[in-house]
């Protein structure tokens, strides 16, 4: 049998065109962000889906059909991905795609598909893809080196594994506020070397799309008031994979040590004798207002700012927040995880003496293409948030700086 020729690299313009993804597991989850970013009409067909895939469907970014694949599902498609854990189903998808002359990626057996997914990244208007004849780890490493060369003017073609990668260890990486370009260079480098990534929903999904196919992605998505993997289970899975000699990256939104339970995970690893390192991230508490044109501090306006978790309501027995003290201060208050209880927080601040006309800024999906901002006052913030249907993730900035802007 003649070996197949080298794949022909090409860019597909998929805006408004039907793309079918059969499968809703971690492989499909990693492919969705770039398909969505391309503007494609993405249709996912799967019996079961990860929490992140379900959340993407709930946000109306994809069409999700929870059922078995059927012959004919590719009708009208321009591109397809077979990404189930059933080889027979994947084979059937490829067969239909071949019959209809639709390019199709087969995730479990790349050579059987008519298309191959490269290791990719976007930078300053460039889209870069690398194929290395099925050597996925090599593709990801070269991709990362090219990206770092663009970012820093450096490239190391001899060794792509960082000295801070510890096989049998864990790295807590802050993914930043949402824009994948706001993750640190070190964080991105460690992701490129990961064997396992345990990811939260608020971690930039584009970072998962860049992972090599061999990387195991464990969905620890924390959908507010929905399904969530218990913290003990997250700790256990990190420790289990690390003890098996794998390098585990725990990818979190924002900064691992800002209301992210990161230190609990550090302690769990330490108690288990697992080496652990922390890579700080850009916290949304500061970055999201900044990107919206609002500084959390400004000369002659305020000399302090406080970041407060809205996870527990004022007056709750477990609350550690002195709301009267917050109301009495003149500086900036940044509330995280607070939109669902904004009425309670606003009432506590008003009762504590904060003026009703105190400016308020609300930013939903900050730093992403879905960003939505709302300006209000402490008196009407609750009503405006409800009327505009703002849901998590969102931050709330209270204070004189909230009236500023670029």
Residues, the chain:
406
Nearest-angstrom CA–CA distance, 395 and 62: 25
Domain ranges in the chain are 18-112, 161-282, 285-403
Domain 161-282, classified CATH 3.30.360.10, yes or no? no
Position 133 scores a pLDDT of 67
Q: Among positive and negative, which fits the CA dihedral 79, 83, 89, 94?
A: positive
18-112 folds as: Rossmann fold (3.40.50)
Nearest-angstrom CA–CA distance, 31 and 217: 12
Q: Please, how many CA atoms are within 13 Å of residue 91, restricted to the half-sphere of its CB?
A: 3
Classify strands 372-377 and 63-66 as parallel, antiparallel or unpaired.
unpaired
Cβ of 157: how many Cβ atoms within 10 Å?
9
CATH of domain 285-403: 3.30.950.10
| Residues annotated catalytic, as ranges | 200, 222
Nearest-angstrom CA–CA distance, 262 and 278: 9
DSSP structure string for 210-223:
TS-TTSEEEE----
Which residue is associated with the tokens 């709930």?
Answer: 58
Nearest-angstrom CA–CA distance, 132 and 81: 20
Q: Report the candidate in 359, 366, 370, 368 with the shortest Cα–Cα distance to residue 404.
A: 359
One digit per residue, the tens of pLDDT, for the chain of length 406 reads 334 567 888 889 999 999 999 999 999 999 999 999 999 999 999 999 999 999 999 999 999 999 999 999 999 999 999 999 999 999 999 999 999 999 999 999 988 999 988 888 876 567 888 887 667 788 888 888 888 777 654 443 334 455 567 789 999 999 999 999 999 988 988 998 899 999 998 999 999 988 888 999 999 875 455 556 788 899 999 999 999 999 999 999 999 999 999 999 999 999 999 999 999 999 999 999 999 999 999 999 999 999 999 999 999 999 999 999 999 999 999 999 999 999 999 999 999 999 999 999 999 999 999 999 999 999 999 999 999 999 999 999 999 999 999 8
Which residue is associated with the tokens 């490493």?
Answer: 141
- Distance (Å) of CA 331 to CA 111, 259, 318, 334, 366: 60, 21, 25, 10, 22
């Amino acid at each position: 049998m003649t070996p197949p020729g080298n794949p022909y690299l090409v860019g597909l313009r998929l805006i408004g065109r039907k793309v079918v993804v059969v499968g809703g597991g971690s492989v499909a989850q990693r492919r969705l962000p770039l398909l969505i970013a391309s503007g494609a009409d993405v249709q996912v067909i799967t019996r079961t889906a990860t929490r992140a895939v379900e959340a993407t469907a709930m946000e109306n970014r994809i069409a999700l059909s929870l059922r078995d694949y059927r012959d004919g599902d590719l009708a009208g498609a321009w591109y397809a991905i077979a990404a189930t854990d059933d080889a027979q189903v994947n084979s059937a998808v490829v067969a239909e795609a071949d019959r209809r002359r639709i390019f199709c990626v087969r995730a479990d057996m790349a050579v059987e598909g008519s298309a191959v997914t490269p290791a990719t990244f976007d930078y300053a208007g460039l889209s870069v893809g690398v194929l290395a004849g099925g050597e996925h780890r090599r593709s990801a490493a070269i991709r990362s080196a090219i990206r770092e060369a663009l970012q820093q003017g450096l490239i190391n073609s001899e060794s792509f594994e960082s000295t801070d990668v510890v096989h049998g260890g864990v790295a807590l990486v802050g993914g930043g506020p949402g824009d994948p370009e706001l993750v640190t260079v070190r964080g991105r480098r460690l992701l490129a070397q990961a064997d396992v990534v345990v990811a939260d929903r608020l971690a930039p999904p584009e970072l998962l799309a860049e992972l090599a196919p061999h990387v195991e992605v464990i969905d620890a998505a924390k959908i507010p008031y929905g399904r969530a993997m218990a913290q003990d289970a997250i700790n256990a899975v990190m420790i289990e994979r690390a003890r098996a000699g794998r390098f585990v990256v725990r990818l979190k939104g924002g900064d691992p040590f800002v209301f992210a339970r990161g230190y609990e995970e550090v302690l769990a690893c330490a108690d288990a004798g697992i080496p652990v390192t922390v890579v700080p991230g850009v916290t949304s508490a500061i970055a999201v207002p900044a990107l919206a044109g609002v500084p959390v501090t400004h000369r002659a306006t305020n000399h302090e700012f406080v970041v407060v978790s809205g996870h527990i309501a004022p007056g709750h027995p477990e609350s550690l927040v002195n709301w009267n003290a917050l109301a009495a201060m003149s500086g900036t208050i940044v509330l995280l995880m607070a939109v669902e209880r904004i009425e309670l927080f606003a009432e506590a601040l008003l009762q504590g003496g904060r003026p009703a006309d105190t400016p308020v800024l609300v930013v939903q999906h900050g730093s992403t293409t879905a960003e939505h901002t709302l300006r209000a006052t402490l008196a009407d913030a609750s009503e405006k948030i409800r009327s505009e249907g703002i849901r998590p993730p969102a931050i709330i900035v209270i204070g004189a700086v909230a009236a500023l802007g670029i």
